[in-house]
Amino acid sequence: MKIGLVLPSVPAYSETFFTSKIKGLQANGLEVVLFVNHFSSKTSLHCNVVSSPKFSKNKLKNSFISLHCFLKALFLGYASTRKLYLLDKKDNLSFAKRIKSIVINSHILTQKLDWLHFGFGTMAINRENVAEAIGAKMGVSFRGFDHYVYPLKNVGCYKILFSKKVKYHVLSEGMKSDLMNQLIPEENIIKITPAIDTNLFFNENSFENMPTFLTVARLHWIKGLDYILEAFSILNKRGFDFQYKIIGDGAEKERLQFLVHQLELNNKVHFLGKLEQDEVKQELLKTSYYIQYSHQEGFCNAVLEAQAMGKVCIVSDADGLIENVLDKKTGFVVPKRNPEALANKIEAVFNLNRDVKEFLIEKAVERIKSNFTFEKQINQFMDFYTK
């Protein structure tokens, strides 16, 4: 079986949710072809990588590139190209958009695949008919931003997609319910949660007199980091001693650093930047508590890794996080956008009896080992493609 996986770029080392899937499918005898917008030769993945057409700011040059791609699709994949044109016409796309569709998908139209799987819902926009055109089954994964946020800014962006015969992969029951509300049959929606390397991340917890907290996240407004800092400001004024580290980089770094300064937390809060996976593990070893207070979260691998390593996790009630952490059973869930409530929860959790914390950790570790391993995830994806 040959699987075509459409992604923005070749997965980086840290993107374990893709790399583990690809390696797992290959280990089970499936061939994987990557279709990417941005090609990188630096990859440990032993699979064919096909890059999309590259356009520049030069309109004349782009005209020649477009003509070349169109002719290539026409001569090397005439049947697929013709079918894509007719399917797009049936969806009432203009002539110009039909030609553009052929050009931007020319690198896929010449392929012979059993499945064409779009790694994010947004990757399937303007490509809704490509799988049918090449005679492949179509799969689409929704992971978070593409499901919850993008449609708010681009109303109706999935209208054509939701009218097609597609098998959907989602991360949570919440996502599944949302798609069912779009009148997509339940049997076409498969929940497969993220997974982690439990051989790398395992329980090594320790509690110290001064509580240490950690968050791993893009420095983006959607991660709710400003609310975490507000909560720690409240605790600091109460005389609560702590250290808080943030791993990650992003557009909000300067604003968050200034907020730390304004809240007089410079000696308490530390920005560590973007770290590799083994470096993240080393920071987790120094940490007792993990916080993920996002406004929206598809599921969050970092929270799984923290639980596997025996860290008491405090998360918001955003989307997949309420399935990732079971409130008062494997960690704690706090209503989002409420720094006062978060501050109170942090203080209450720190003051819990050590035996209670260790019981929570034990249950969390057991659940991770039972439900969120690479082996289980790959078995589910094999079922996704074969059943």
Which candidate, 274, 277, 283, 302, places its Cα nearest to that of 368? 302
Q: How far is it, in rounded angstroms, from Cα 176 to Cα 179? A: 5
Whether 79 maps to a domain, the answer reads no
DSSP state of 122: G
Go through 90-118 and write b for each residue having 16 or more CB atoms within 10 A of its CB, e for each that does not. Answer: eeebeeeebebbbbbbbbbbbbebebbbb
* pLDDT at site 277: 83
Is residue 132 located within the same domain as residue 241?
A: no
Say if residues 269 and 246 touch (Cβ distance below 8 Å).
yes
Is residue 25 located within the same domain as residue 172?
A: yes
Q: How far is it, in rounded angstroms, from Cα 105 to Cα 339? A: 46
By residue range, what is the domain housing residue 290?
A: 212-370
Is residue 281 located within the same domain as residue 269?
A: yes
Provide, rounded to the nearest whole percent, the portion of the chain with pLDDT above 90: 78
* pLDDT at site 40: 60
Is residue 36 located within the same domain as residue 167?
A: yes
Q: How far is it, in rounded angstroms, from Cα 14 to Cα 277? A: 6
Sequence-distant (6+) residues with CB within 8 A of 187 are none
Which candidate, 25, 363, 38, 324, places its Cα nearest to that of 191? 324
Is residue 294 located within the same domain as residue 252?
A: yes
- Distances in whole angstroms, Cα of residue 34 to Cα of each of 14, 54, 297: 17, 16, 26
* pLDDT at site 58: 86
Q: What is the pLDDT of residues 198-241, one digit of tens each?
A: 887 776 666 666 799 999 999 999 999 999 999 999 999 999 99
Is residue 346 located within the same domain as residue 257?
A: yes
Mean pLDDT confidence for 271-292: 92
Say if residues 227 and 293 touch (Cβ distance below 8 Å).
yes
Is residue 141 located within the same domain as residue 223?
A: no
Is residue 48 scored above 70 in pLDDT? yes
Q: What is the pLDDT of residues 249-265, one digit of tens each?
A: 999 999 999 999 999 99
Is residue 248 located within the same domain as residue 130?
A: no
For the sheet containing 243-247, what is the strand order?
A: 269-273, 243-247, 212-216, 289-292, 312-316, 332-334
One-letter identity of residue 47:
C
Is residue 224 located within the same domain as residue 153?
A: no
Say if residues 256 and 247 touch (Cβ distance below 8 Å).
no
Whether 77 maps to a domain, the answer reads no
Is residue 190 scored above 70 in pLDDT? yes
| Mean pLDDT taken over the chain | 92
Written as one string, the DSSP assignment of 327-363 is: BTTTBEEE-SS-HHHHHHHHHHHHTS-HHHHHHHHHH
Is residue 248 located within the same domain as residue 342?
A: yes
Whether 37 maps to a domain, the answer reads yes
Is residue 137 scored above 70 in pLDDT? yes
User: Dihedral angle at the C-alpha atoms of 38, 63, 66, 56, nearest 10 degrees?
Assistant: 0
In the chain, count H helices and then E strands.
17, 13
- Distances in whole angstroms, Cα of residue 201 to Cα of each of 89, 119, 164, 204, 301: 51, 25, 40, 9, 11
First to last CA, the chain: 13
Vertex 190 angle, CA 186 and 115, to 5°:
110
Q: For the chain, what is the radius of gyration of the CA atoms? A: 23
What is the token pair recorded at 247?
């791993």
Is residue 301 located within the same domain as residue 329?
A: yes
What is the token pair recorded at 245?
């580290």
* pLDDT at site 89: 96
Q: Which helix (H) or strand (E) holds 70?
A: helix 59-76
Which of the four pLDDT bands, split at 50, 70 and 90, describes residue 20? Answer: confident
What is the token pair recorded at 164?
């097609």
pTM: 0.87
Provide, rounded to the nearest whole percent, the portion of the chain with pLDDT above 70: 96
What is the token pair recorded at 258?
């200034």
CATH, residue 262: 3.40.50.2000
Is residue 177 located within the same domain as residue 224?
A: no
Whether 93 maps to a domain, the answer reads no
Is residue 95 scored above 90 in pLDDT? yes
How many angstroms from the chain centroid is the CA of residue 327?
22
Whether 87 maps to a domain, the answer reads no
One-letter identity of residue 88:
D
Q: Which helix (H) or strand (E) holds 226?
A: helix 225-237
Lowest-pLDDT choice from 4-18, 92-106, 156-170, 186-200: 4-18
Which of the four pLDDT bands, split at 50, 70 and 90, describes residue 70? Answer: very high
Number of domains in the chain: 2
Which candidate, 316, 274, 323, 326, places its Cα nearest to that of 296? 316
Say if residues 331 and 314 touch (Cβ distance below 8 Å).
yes
* pLDDT at site 18: 84
Is residue 360 scored above 90 in pLDDT? yes
Q: How far is it, in rounded angstroms, from Cα 257 to Cα 100? A: 44
Is residue 155 scored above 90 in pLDDT? yes
Q: How far is it, in rounded angstroms, from Cα 260 to Cα 13? A: 30
Whether 63 maps to a domain, the answer reads no
Whether 86 maps to a domain, the answer reads no
What's phi and psi for 51, nearest 5 deg?
-95, 145
Whether 173 maps to a domain, the answer reads yes
